[in-house]
């Protein structure tokens, strides 16, 4: 559970940082949006270093959680309700993430 929570916080930092840049570019927002965007993306990069396994495995598994939270963001921030296909995709991604992170490994 701690691994998933760390992935979720990492994903939210990345999504928020990217969204702030997107908002600045697409919505004509203030350039001041780039300050919290940079902080959020720096937090994202730092959080990735806290995961206790090989970086390639972390990045691969993180992708599943990122996709899940991006669909949640679609609903929560963009106001677009996910379809059953979106939710099926999320389930598949989380299953893949679980296999990558929690499969038994030899030392």
Give the tens place of pLDDT for each residue, 15-74.
Answer: 999 999 999 999 888 899 999 999 999 999 999 888 877 778 888 888 888 899 999 999
Q: How far apart are CA 90 and CA 70, in angstroms?
A: 10
Q: Is residue 26 part of a domain?
A: yes
pTM (predicted TM-score): 0.77
Confidence of residue 107 (pLDDT cuts 50, 70, 90): low
Tell me how far CA of residue 64 lies from CA of 39, 58, 105, in angstroms: 23, 10, 20
Radius of gyration of the chain (CA): 15
- pLDDT at 103 (0 to 100): 83
| Total structural domains within the chain | 1
Residue 76 CA to residue 81 CA, distance in Å, equals 8
For the chain, first and last CA: distance in Å?
Answer: 22
pLDDT the model gives residue 35: 97
Flag whether 107 is in a domain. Answer: no
Q: Residue 58's domain spans which residues?
A: 2-102
Per-residue pLDDT reduced to its tens digit, 72-103? 999 999 899 999 999 999 999 999 988 888 88
- Is 39 among the domain residues? yes
């Amino acid at each position: 559970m701690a691994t998933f929570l760390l992935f979720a916080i990492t994903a939210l930092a990345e999504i928020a940082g990217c969204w702030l840049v997107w908002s600045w570019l697409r919505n004509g927002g203030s350039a001041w949006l780039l300050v919290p965007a940079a902080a959020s993306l720096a937090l994202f990069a730092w959080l990735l270093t806290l995961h206790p396994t090989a970086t390639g495995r972390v990045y691969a598994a993180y992708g599943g959680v990122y996709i899940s939270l991006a669909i949640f963001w679609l609903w929560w921030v963009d106001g677009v309700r996910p379809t059953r296909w979106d939710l099926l995709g999320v389930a598949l991604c989380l299953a893949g993430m679980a296999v990558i992170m929690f499969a038994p490994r030899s030392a």
